Amino acid sequence: MPKSTARPTSPDPLAADMAVHAGEAAGLLKALAHPARLLVLCQLVEGERSVGELQPATGLSPSALSQHLAVLREMALVHTRREGQSIHYSLADGPALGVLEALHAAYCGDGVPLAGRTGA
């Protein structure tokens, strides 16, 4: 009897959907798992920022900020735009905003949705 090459199916369609996207979701959560990267992304929810604006807002050294921005670029969570010698960062479209909004609601609790903040 030949072996089946079909993927096992789950009776739960939600579980099946997550199985397809679990690696991608885990990658997003891994990128968000560092407090410094969360701070950077929270700044970018409010709008585009240059590295010079992100550094004092996050309190990170230029070297640390550069390393965290590199991780966010690798994960395609941010877009970059060069203007002269400055690099400007913005939040990429995708599921990160929804996760950031959920984290903000759970931990910040100021009643102001991220999307409703000035500059967003």
pLDDT of residue 86: 93
- The pLDDT tens digits for 35-74 are 999 999 999 999 999 999 999 999 999 999 999 999 999 9
* CA nearest to 72, candidates 119, 117, 27: 27
CA distance 69 to 53: 13
Q: Where are the domains of the chain?
A: 21-115
Q: Which of the pair, 23 or 117, is modelled with greater confidence?
A: 23
Domain 21-115, second-level architecture: Orthogonal Bundle (1.10)
**Pair 43, 54: CB distance under 8 Å:** yes
CA distance 29 to 60: 21
Which value, to the nearest 10 degrees, does the dihedral of the CA atoms of residues 57, 60, 63, 67 take? -90
pLDDT of residue 100: 92
